[in-house]
Structure 1
Amino acid sequence: MAGRGNPPEGTPDDASGGDDEYREDYRSVVFDESFIKAARLQEFSARERMEDEEHAAVRNRAYAPSGESADPGLETTYGRGSITASRQGIVLVLLIVLAFGTAIYMGIRNPYQAPPEPPAEPMRNSLLPLAPRDEVPGATPADLFKHSPAAQFRTGADGVTLPPARRMRHFSESQVLSALTAAKEYIVTSSLDPAVLSGNSVRDVRIMLDPAQQEQFDQSMDHPRNDGRHSATGWMVRFDPSKTTLADPRIRVNGTLTVQEAGADALEVVADHVFVYALRATEGGDGKKAEEKSSLFTVRREVRFQIDREDLRRQQLSVQQVSMRAGPLPCSADMTDALAPLMAGERAKDDGAAGTDPYARGRSSASLCGVLSTSSQPSPAARKDD
């Protein structure tokens, strides 16, 4: 049999140079071991073809580096490749899941959240008492109203009228109407509700305020003081029930509501109204005689509101500023907790306003005082003529 590396038909007779020359001449056509190992296809053996006639003539071989046999580890090599591919797929899926999970987590716990809304500004208030020059006129509520500037005023909530609601640059017509309605509700509750006027109720006023102002409101109710921010009478009109009571629940009202934008995210509503109350002293008793000792008390109240989009959603508002002029009142009385009107037949004491010390540090406890015009009082002459 021909040796390894010799041609099948043996060495040619006329070959010269011996085996070395022979190998050199046929080196280009002889398949050495490295060439065979590097082959991608392998022919099935005769026995394999006899056992299975449907066998293909050749099969794929796994590539093995030079010097290593591919056949013994053929199945193992394929198995490892499959396992490696499976592991890579699992790792890829895990990475994708991790990426999505991280995105969701960062969306929920985003360290760059939008800054919170700035807190509502504190309410500021001022009260100018108006002292009468003469004795406070007294009569029945009907006579007093008939002969006063309030004769043509509407009664109660009917006097707090809404202007036409129109669309604005940043707010729809319905949003403007909602802001006006909230302001009217506050004015009616804080100025006309008998329970509020008597000092028996504060809750109905409180729940209409922006939550950021409710703490200031509570402090004003618990510890009222004359600092321009914590006066109970700044939030509402109320009287000391031990001294004053309503002689007629039909309060006369006249005024206006206006609205404008306070930027892209808020509306400003201004309520400017005159309220006229018929009052009498609590210890004056009941009946016709007590009714004839009624007197009128007039409050000019301007309330400035700010209503942002969140307030519109909650139907609440922020009270920015309250300015009041009211009389007849004594100049020196403390009005931070409740108003103390002068009753029929009383005069303002000649004490004037409290003195002011310009050298004293801090906020002055003194208040300004005005004079209540005679023309704003009911006319005694007209009352007698009737």
Structure 2
Amino acid sequence: LDQRAEPLRTTVVPLAPQGPVPGGDPARLLARSPAAEYRTGAAGINLPVAARTTHFSEGQVVTALSIAKDYLVASSLEPDVLAGQTVRPARLLLDPDQLAQFDRSVESPADDGRHALAAWVVRFDPRQVSVAEPGPRVQGTLRFAEVTPDTLDVTADHTFTYALRPAAQGSGEPPAASLFTVHRTLHFRFDREDLRMHRAELLTSTVEAGPQACGTDTGGGLRPLLAGAEAPAKTGPALTDPYATDRSGGPALCGALAPAAQPRP
């Protein structure tokens, strides 16, 4: 039974640094950060031990977990996706019912709880930022549960740490790198047709990412603050009027990046 997919609900929360963003050599920064023990790339996305549920076989559970992992790789580790060159690897894994919503999020992203691009893919502006070596570090969990006799849910909760530099300025000594951390919680749903077609429905996506300035538009791609940068003084949480009825999205969300999340000096 192929059930119609619901629209994805999106939440993107920028995390503002409390001081200048630490900079330096990428490997050294990683070694002094909470991501020091994380694995590199897809090796950090581990599948749990699969078991059959009441109405799904062990093989079907493995398929659901594998599709979820494929989506995480396609949307947060694929170099061309990170560099803003394509979204195709992630798009190919989505239920057709969600493609129009995805395409609108890419073409005209909006901070409206439905069309935040950063909720679908991790993407940096190639004119501003380049991803440095070593590759992204990843740690997290995948969990599965049967929700109805016809649907399996998978929840992915992962932290991705990227070493970033300012976009190439020509030859010479490369500019200092900095770390950028993205905590993604994705809730996937699979019906039997999704499993057969190797695709996923995304129900919810919550992204917390920093260092970024609060008050920047969170509808589009991520906007990291790079080495040495500070959050503008006035980018605390935005004013939210509980009496206003014309808000397009929910309340403006913003967080403070815990100092312990940054590399040690």
- TM-score of Structure 1 vs Structure 2, range by shorter chain: over 0.9
How far apart, in 2, do the equivalents of 1:270 and 1:287 lie?
Answer: 44
Aligned residues: 263
Which residue pairs with 1:345 in the alignment?
Answer: 228
C-alpha contact 1:208 1:315 (8 A) present in aligned 2: yes
Look up the SS of the partner of 2:133 in the other structure: strand
Which residue pairs with 2:78 in the alignment?
Answer: 193
C-alpha contact 2:18 2:259 (8 A) present in aligned 1: yes
Report the RMSD for the aligned CA atoms in angstroms. Answer: 1.5
Q: CA deviation at 1:231?
A: 1.2
Q: CA deviation at 1:226?
A: 0.8
Which residue pairs with 1:113 in the alignment?
Answer: none
How far apart, in 1, do the equivalents of 2:5 and 2:240 lie?
Answer: 32
Counterpart selection for 1:144 from 29, 49, 53: 29
Which residue pairs with 1:319 in the alignment?
Answer: 202
How far apart, in 2, do the equivalents of 1:182 and 1:131 lie?
Answer: 33
Structure 1 stretches of 4+ with a deviation exceeding 3 A read 283-289
Q: Which has the larger radius of gyration?
A: 1
Which residue pairs with 2:262 in the alignment?
Answer: 377
- Amino acid in the other structure paired with 2:225: L
Larger strand percent: 2
Counterpart selection for 2:186 from 286, 303, 310: 303
Which residue pairs with 1:94 in the alignment?
Answer: none
The reply on whether 1:260 has 2:176 as its aligned counterpart is no
Per the alignment, do residues 324 and 140 of structure 1 end up closer, same or farther by CA in structure 2, a change over 3 Å counting? same
Which residue pairs with 2:49 in the alignment?
Answer: 164
Q: Which runs of 5+ in 2 are unaligned?
A: none
Show the 5 A alignment for 1:173-212. Answer: 173-212=58-97
Look up the SS of the partner of 1:363 in the other structure: coil
How far apart, in 1, do the equivalents of 2:61 and 2:172 lie?
Answer: 47
Q: Which runs of 5+ in 1 are unaligned?
A: 1-115, 381-386
Counterpart selection for 2:133 from 248, 266, 274: 248
How far apart, in 1, do the equivalents of 2:119 and 2:246 lie?
Answer: 21
- Amino acid in the other structure paired with 1:355: L
Which residue pairs with 1:356 in the alignment?
Answer: 240
- Amino acid in the other structure paired with 1:131: A
Look up the SS of the partner of 1:349 in the other structure: coil
Q: CA deviation at 1:306?
A: 0.1
TM-score (norm 1): 0.66
How far apart, in 1, do the equivalents of 2:188 and 2:172 lie?
Answer: 41
- Amino acid in the other structure paired with 1:357: D
Which residue pairs with 1:120 in the alignment?
Answer: 5
Which residue pairs with 1:86 in the alignment?
Answer: none
Per the alignment, do residues 136 and 367 of structure 1 end up closer, same or farther by CA in structure 2, a change over 3 Å counting? same
Identity of aligned residues (%): 49
Which residue pairs with 1:236 in the alignment?
Answer: 121
Q: CA deviation at 1:362?
A: 2.6
Which residue pairs with 2:162 in the alignment?
Answer: 277
C-alpha contact 1:356 1:364 (8 A) present in aligned 2: no
Q: CA deviation at 1:288?
A: 3.8
Which residue pairs with 1:14 in the alignment?
Answer: none
How far apart, in 2, do the equivalents of 1:296 and 1:337 lie?
Answer: 20
Structure of higher RCO (CA pairs closer than 8 Å, 6+ residues apart): 2
How far apart, in 1, do the equivalents of 2:264 and 2:138 lie?
Answer: 20
Counterpart selection for 1:224 from 97, 101, 109: 109
Which residue pairs with 1:129 in the alignment?
Answer: 14
Per the alignment, do residues 129 and 189 of structure 1 end up closer, same or farther by CA in structure 2, a change over 3 Å counting? same
